Structure 1
Amino acid sequence: MKLIIMATLVILPVALYPNPVKAEQCDGSTAEMVACGQRLFNKADARLNAVWQSLPKNKQNTLRDAQLKWIEYKERKCKAEASAIAEGGTMKPLIELGCLIGETEKRTAELEAFL
C-alpha cells in the first residue's frame, strides 16, 4: 500500500503537468535542478527577446500591448499550475520553470510567424 501511495505522489504531478524541468536536461539535487531550469528558462527568454527585436517596428507596435499581457498571463498561469500541483513541495519550482519554458517557447514560435 505504501508503494502505491508513493508511486501516486511521484507520478501524479508529472501526469498533471507533463513538462517539469526534465531530469535528462537537469539532474542532481533539487537546488541544482532549479538552477539548471532557470538557465534553460533564461535561454528560452533570450531567444524570445531576440525574435521580438528582429520584428519590424510596426509589428512590435501592433503587438506590444498583447505581448505585455502575455507576459503577465504566462507568469500567473505557471505560478497557479505549480501551486495547484505541488504547493509547498520540492517539485513546485521545477513545475513552474517547466511551464515558463514551454510557454516561452510557444510564444517565440508565434512571434516568428510575424517575421
Structure 2
Amino acid sequence: MLLGLCGCVLLIDGPAPAQEPDVDCSKAETQVEMTYCSEQEFNEADKRLNTQYQRVRKAMKTWDADADLPASEGADAALVRAQRAWIAYRDAQCEFYGFQGHGGSIEPQLIYDCQRDLTVKRTTEIKEQADAMSN
C-alpha cells in the first residue's frame, strides 16, 4: 500500500507539459487572455526588431569597411551602444508605465503594450537611419 501511494505522489508531483493557451486574441475577454495576447504582440514586434537590427548591423559593418578615413568608422559600435541603451530605456520606461495598474492584474498587460509600442517605433527608427546612410 505504501509503494502505491508513493507512486501516486511522484506522478502528481511531476512537471506538467508546457502548453500554449488556446486564445483567440480577436475575442480576448478575460484579463489573462488580454495579457497573453499583449505578450504575443510584443514577442512578434521584438522578432521584427531583431530581424531589422541584424540587417542594420550588417549595413553598418559595410559602412565601416567602406569608410575612407579611420575616423569615419564606428557606425556598428555606435549602433550596438545605442541599442543597449535603448533596451535599458524601454524596460525602465515600461516598468514605470505599468505603475498605472501597479499590483493589479492589468499591470503586466500595460507593460507588454508599452514594450510593443516602443519596439515598433525603434524598428522604424533604425530602419530609417540605415536607409538614410545608404543614400
TM-score by length of 1: 0.72
Distance 1:26 1:111, change over 3 A: farther
Give the count of matched residue pairs: 91
Q: Report 1:1-115 matches (<5 A).
A: 25=26, 27-55=28-56, 56=59, 57=61, 58=64, 59-83=75-99, 85-113=100-128, 114-115=130-131
Matches of 1:72 and 1:25, distance apart in 2: 31
Matches of 2:91 and 2:121, distance apart in 1: 14
The alpha carbon displacement at 1:52 in A equals 0.6
The one-character-per-residue Cα deviations of 1:17-46 (angstroms, maximum 9, x if unpaired) are xxxxxxx75613211211111111010000
Q: 5+ unaligned residues in a row in structure 2: which ranges?
A: 1-24, 65-74
Distance 1:86 1:31, change over 3 A: same
RMSD over equivalenced CA pairs, Å: 1.7
Give every structure 1 segment of 4 or more consecutive aligned residues whose post-TM-superposition deviation is greater than 4 Å. Answer: none
Matched-pair contact (CA < 8 Å) for 1:33–1:94: yes
Larger Rg over CA atoms:
2
Quote the sequence identity (%): 31
